[in-house]
C-alpha cells in the first residue's frame, strides 16, 4: 500500500509511451523491462500508457509484475473532445504536409485524423488490475473514477502546472500533486489556462504549490541529476519525477537515433511547439518542428497528433531523425548513456552526498 510517508524523498521514474519513442523495427519495445529494473532499486517506475490499447496495457502490467513485486505506476491522459474539422481544412492541411510525405516516400492520402478514445477502457484495466499508483495528466479525473480508485486502494497523482491547478487537484482528492515546471520534456499538462500562461519554472512552481496544498508535491521538469533532486527536496517537494534522464538508458525503448540526438543536443535546441501534436510539447527542434510551425492551421489535440503520426512512424522506420518527434526537457546536456541501474545507483549516492554536505554546512531546512 502506497501512502504519503512512502512518497517522502522518492523518485518517480516516468517512462513515456513508445508511441512517442518508436523502436527501429516499428514494434513497441519492452517498456516493462526498464520499469521493473527501476522499481527494484526502490524507485517508483511509471509506465506511460496513454497510447496503449487496453489489452496491451493489461499485458504490460502483468509483465511488470513478473519482473518485480514492488509498487509501480501507470499514467494515462485525460481525454479531450476535439472540435469538428471541415473536409476542406483537412484536405488543405494534408496538402501542406505532402512535401514531407513525398520525401519519405509515403502516400499523403494515408494521413488521417481517425482515432478512438479508449480512456474508459484503459482506466477500467487500471482499476481491475489494482495498479498501486495511478497518475493522470491533461485535466481532472472525473469524480466517479476517483472514487473507484479509492475503493481499489490506488494511490492517485495528478499533474499541475500552476498553483490554481494544484488546488483543483487537491479538492478532487488526489494523494499527491505532480508540479510540472516549464523545463519538462514532453507534453504540457496544463488544463486550466492557456499553456503560455502556465510556463512557470520548476524552481518557482514547486515551493508555491507546496505552500498551497497539504498533499505531497512531486517536482518535475529539468531534473536530471542529484543536484536537481536535492534542490527539489529543499524547495518543499516530497519526491521528484524524472523522464528525459532515462531515455538514453540501455533498457529504454527509445529509437537509437533519438538516444543519440539527446546525448549530442544542447539546451538551445529544445523548444516548445503545438504544431506537431496540437498540444504544447517540449522536444528537440528539427525539420519536422520547423516545417509544421509554418503550417497555416494546426488541428487541436489529439487530431494533429493522429494526423502526423504516420509521418513520424515512417521517419523512425527509415532512420530519418529530422522527421521524428523527439521529446526532451531543458536539462539535456546532463543526459548520459548508461544502464538504468547505473543511473539509479549514481543518483542515489550523489543525492545522499549532497544532502549530507548541506547538513554539515548547517544549511539544511
* Residues 152 and 133: beta-carbon distance below 8 Å: no
Give pLDDT, residue 12.
Answer: 62
Here the cell at position 311 is 509521418
Mean per-residue pLDDT of the chain: 89
Q: Is 281 helix (H, G, I), strand (E, B) or coil?
A: strand
Give pLDDT, residue 236.
Answer: 97
Any alpha helices (H) in the chain, and if so which ranges? 31-39, 54-67, 87-104, 119-128, 143-151, 163-172, 202-212, 226-234, 256-264, 287-292, 303-317, 340-360
Here the cell at position 244 is 528525459
Give pLDDT, residue 23.
Answer: 24
Cα–Cα distances (Å) from 35 to 18, 127, 133, 212, in that order, read: 13, 19, 13, 32
Cα 306–135–122 angle (5° rounding)? Answer: 55
Q: Is 153 left (phi over 0), alpha (psi -120 to 50) or beta?
A: left
Here the cell at position 148 is 473507484
Query: What is the DSSP-derived secondary structure letter of residue 198?
Result: G
Q: Is 2 left (phi over 0), alpha (psi -120 to 50) or beta?
A: beta
- Summarised one tens digit per residue, pLDDT across range 41-96 is 358 899 999 999 999 999 999 999 999 999 999 999 999 887 788 899 999 999 99
Cα 41–20–43 angle (5° rounding)? Answer: 10
The whole-model pTM stands at 0.89
Q: How far apart are CA 342 and CA 312, in angstroms?
A: 31
Burial class (CB in 10 A: 0-12, 13-18, 19+), 83: exposed
Q: Is 63 helix (H, G, I), strand (E, B) or coil?
A: helix
Q: How far apart are CA 48 and CA 262, in angstroms?
A: 19
For β-strands 155-160 and 176-180, DSSP reports them as parallel
Q: How far apart are CA 218 and CA 167, in angstroms?
A: 14
Query: What is the DSSP-derived secondary structure letter of residue 83?
Result: P
pLDDT < 50 regions, the chain: 1, 15-41
* Nearest CA-CA partner of 82 in 307, 237, 282, 267: 307
For β-strands 10-15 and 239-242, DSSP reports them as parallel
Q: How many CB atoms lie within 10 A of CB 5?
A: 8
Give pLDDT, residue 30.
Answer: 40
Give pLDDT, residue 42.
Answer: 55
Burial class (CB in 10 A: 0-12, 13-18, 19+), 280: buried
Cα–Cα distances (Å) from 159 to 23, 156, 307, 321, in that order, read: 27, 10, 26, 30
Amino acid at each position: 500500500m502506497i501512502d504519503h510517508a512512502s512518497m517522502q524523498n522518492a523518485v518517480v521514474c516516468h517512462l513515456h509511451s513508445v508511441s512517442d519513442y518508436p523502436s527501429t523495427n516499428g514494434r513497441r519495445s519492452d517498456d516493462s523491462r526498464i520499469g521493473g529494473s527501476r522499481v527494484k532499486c526502490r524507485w517508483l517506475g511509471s509506465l506511460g500508457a496513454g497510447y496503449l490499447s487496453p489489452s496491451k496495457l493489461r499485458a504490460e502490467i502483468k509483465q511488470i509484475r513478473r519482473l518485480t513485486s514492488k509498487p509501480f505506476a501507470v499514467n494515462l491522459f485525460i481525454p479531450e473532445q476535439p472540435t469538428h474539422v471541415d473536409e476542406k481544412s483537412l484536405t488543405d492541411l494534408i496538402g501542406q504536409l505532402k512535401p514531407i510525405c513525398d520525401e519519405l516516400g509515403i502516400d499523403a492520402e494515408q494521413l488521417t485524423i481517425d482515432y478512438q478514445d479508449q480512456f474508459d477502457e484503459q482506466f477500467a484495466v487500471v482499476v481491475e488490475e489494482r495498479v498501486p499508483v495511478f497518475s493522470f495528466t491533461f485535466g481532472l479525473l472525473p469524480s466517479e473514477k476517483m472514487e473507484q480508485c479509492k475503493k481499489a486502494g490506488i494511490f492517485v497523482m495528478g499533474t499541475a502546472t500552476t498553483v490554481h491547478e494544484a488546488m483543483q487537484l487537491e479538492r478532487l482528492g488526489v494523494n499527491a500533486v505532480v508540479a510540472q515546471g516549464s523545463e519538462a520534456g514532453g507534453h504540457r499538462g496544463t488544463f486550466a489556462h492557456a499553456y503560455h500562461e502556465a510556463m512557470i519554472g520548476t524552481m518557482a512552481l514547486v515551493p508555491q504549490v507546496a505552500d498551497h496544498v497539504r498533499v505531497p508535491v512531486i517536482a518535475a521538469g529539468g531534473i536530471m541529476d542529484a543536484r536537481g533532486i536535492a534542490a527539489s527536496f529543499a524547495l518543499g517537494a516530497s519526491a521528484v519525477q524524472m523522464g528525459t534522464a532515462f531515455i538514453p538508458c540501455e533498457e529504454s525503448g527509445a529509437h537509437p537515433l533519438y538516444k543519440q540526438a539527446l546525448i549530442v543536443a544542447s539546451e538551445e535546441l529544445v523548444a516548445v511547439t503545438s504544431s506537431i501534436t496540437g498540444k504544447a510539447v517540449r522536444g528537440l527542434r528539427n525539420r519536422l518542428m520547423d516545417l509544421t510551425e509554418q503550417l497555416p492551421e494546426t488541428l487541436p489535440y489529439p487530431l494533429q497528433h493522429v494526423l502526423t503520426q504516420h509521418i513520424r512512424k515512417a521517419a523512425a522506420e527509415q532512420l530519418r531523425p529530422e522527421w521524428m518527434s523527439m521529446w526532451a526537457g531543458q536539462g539535456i546536456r546532463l543526459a548520459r548513456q548508461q544502464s538504468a541501474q547505473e543511473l539509479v545507483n549514481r543518483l542515489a549516492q550523489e543525492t545522499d552526498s549532497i544532502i549530507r554536505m548541506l547538513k554539515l554546512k548547517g544549511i539544511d531546512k
